[in-house]
Structure 1
Amino acid sequence: MGELGLPDLDATSDRPVFKQIADHLRAAIDSKELGPGEKLPSESQLIGHYDVARMTVRHALQILQSEGLTVAEHGKGVFVRSRPPVRRLASDRFARHHREQGKAAFIAEAEDAGVKPSVDSIEIQESKPAPEVAAKLNLAEDELVIVRARRYLLNGHPVETATSYIPASIARGSQITQPNSGPGGIYARLEELGHRLDHFTEEIRARMPLRDEARALKLAPGVPVFHLVRTAYDQDGCPVEVCDTVMSSDAYVLSYELPAQ
């Protein structure tokens, strides 16, 4: 091990030098020798340690950034990315007891993870839904929805965007159309309006973010997103909300408890 705590290059390996350097730095990050928020050795330090050209070091650092492990701050250096994980419990996150305690799902998740939740960029409008949303809500061609678009943050860092579509015939004139939907969020308001929630369906896929999504979530290159579309049903089996959510994949662990029979 050299003075930086990194191994020396393996001259007998057929693996390119810049990839060996990336391997060493990745291992240090994975083992927490370089913890979240910590600065990586500078380019000059790595050049001195490995006795390689500056471009070789830069190629190695670019690999780590493309993998979403590091962020480069102009004039300051390269740092290990610091993102708080949140554990989503599918069997519990929409439990009625959270709403009865005045907590929306995101707040309950964040408190469980020990991080500070906040919401910004709330936009509300009444409009005609896209055909796929109208189909999920069983709406006629001329029916409108209330659209609630917002961005969620943990410790001040954006981790999720969500857009809810609620039939205007249900939500029009209620607190659902206000920026502050009240204790327990829009699901609590739907139940107050007589739509006691019975179950949810979710469709989840992983993909690379669109440009606007990467910008909104401040994603580093190489970080994928979870794209989740959820439909909420009331006690009569009627769909009352569709929520289209995009989540930074490195801020969440999706954890599900499934019955065996």
Structure 2
Amino acid sequence: MSRKPGEPHKYREIADDLRRRIHAEEFGEKRKLPAERKLTEEYGASQMTIRQALGVLRDEGIVESRVGSGWFVAEWRPIVRNALKRLSTTQWGEGRSMWDVDIDDRRMEVVGRTEVELVNAPDDVARALDMDPNARVWKRDRRYAVDGEIVMRATSFIPDDLAHNTRITESDSGPGGTYARLREVGHGPVEFREQLRCRLASPAEVDDLRLAAGAPVIEQHRSAMRADGRVVEVNRMVLDASRFLLVYDFPA
């Protein structure tokens, strides 16, 4: 029977029901879902429809496929990314990594090396930094993994006149990272502005972050300003949306 206008797709109905069952802890301690063949019988659907439903839950980070074993409720704990805590000077200003706020006791690493190069600022970066087009900036590009899973690509741009003769120009920028190095030379940020949007991953991002085709990502742009208002860094981040929980605590 064909789907009526406005009626939800069958695979989404199945995904919604499986999500409900997972939240109700129906699948017990083993956290193993029924085999795909069993699910086709339970829902009266084709194997393709079942795989589409499971794909929805996989992209949400709720289930995961294990080769030769089937589908399981995902064991991944979301990375709780608290913007106000991680950007506090009591964090990076005391030489600690901003990631320490996000990951607690989990293992975080940069995949490969942080790539650092002196480049002409892209047009949008030059505008954000209020610099002339093609002004020279240091580009720091790195990909992060938590517990062995790639979760984010971050690319930051720092004006050359602020970064030269500091460890910002090196792959390892030292304790506290870029902001601590900027503060050491009198350009420490005191204010931040972040913009976020959720969108589908591009083909290049699918490969880079090892995502499923059509998976959502969070694109996060951050500007760091020193006391006189000058922007001292622009950071572009692309996050695997299924891996993060973004938290914003605001004082009354």
Tell me if TM exceeds 0.5.
yes
In structure 1, C-alpha distance between the alignment counterparts of 2:101 and 2:203, rounded to whole Å: 30
Identity %: 33
Q: Does 1:231 align with 2:223?
A: yes
Q: Deviations over 1:179-232 (max 9, x none)?
A: 111101111111112112210111111111111212222223453111111000
The total of aligned residue pairs comes to 242
Supply the AA of the counterpart residue of 2:173: S
In the other structure, the counterpart of 1:116 is 107
In the other structure, the counterpart of 1:96 is 89
TM-score (norm 2): 0.84
> Secondary structure in 1 aligned to 2:99?
helix
Contact conserved, 2:126 with 2:134, CA < 8 A, in 1?
no
Cα distance, 1:130 vs. partner?
1.0
In the other structure, the counterpart of 1:60 is 50
Supply the AA of the counterpart residue of 1:101: E
Q: Deviations over 1:149-194 (max 9, x none)?
A: 1111111111111000001111123211111111011111111121
Among 15, 33, 44, the residue aligned to 2:37: 44
In the other structure, the counterpart of 2:79 is 86
Q: 1:17 to 1:63 in 2, by over 3 A?
A: closer
Q: 1:135 to 1:18 in 2, by over 3 A?
A: closer
Cα distance, 1:103 vs. partner?
1.3
Cα distance, 1:115 vs. partner?
2.1
Q: 1:84 to 1:198 in 2, by over 3 A?
A: same
In structure 1, C-alpha distance between the alignment counterparts of 2:170 and 2:107, rounded to whole Å: 23
Q: Deviations over 1:75-96 (max 9, x none)?
A: 4323333432122222221111
- Between stretches 119-128 and 82-91, larger displacement belongs to 82-91
- Between stretches 220-229 and 16-25, larger displacement belongs to 16-25
Q: Does 1:26 align with 2:16?
A: no
Alignment of 1:85-164 (within 5 A): 85-111=78-104, 114-121=105-112, 122-164=114-156
User: Any gaps of 5 or more consecutive residues in structure 2?
Assistant: 1-6
In structure 1, C-alpha distance between the alignment counterparts of 2:67 and 2:251, rounded to whole Å: 50
Cα distance, 1:248 vs. partner?
1.5
Contact conserved, 2:201 with 2:214, CA < 8 A, in 1?
no
Supply the AA of the counterpart residue of 1:33: E
Higher CA-based Rg: 1
Cα distance, 1:42 vs. partner?
1.4
In structure 1, C-alpha distance between the alignment counterparts of 2:65 and 2:75, rounded to whole Å: 12
In structure 2, C-alpha distance between the alignment counterparts of 1:17 and 1:232, rounded to whole Å: 46
TM-score (norm 1): 0.81
Supply the AA of the counterpart residue of 1:202: E
Contact conserved, 2:82 with 2:101, CA < 8 A, in 1?
no
RMSD value, Cα: 2.7
Supply the AA of the counterpart residue of 1:26: R
User: Any gaps of 5 or more consecutive residues in structure 1?
Assistant: 1-13
Supply the AA of the counterpart residue of 2:90: H
Contact conserved, 1:90 with 1:256, CA < 8 A, in 2?
yes
Cα distance, 1:19 vs. partner?
6.0
Contact conserved, 1:66 with 1:221, CA < 8 A, in 2?
no
Supply the AA of the counterpart residue of 2:180: A
> Secondary structure in 2 aligned to 1:145?
strand
Supply the AA of the counterpart residue of 1:45: K
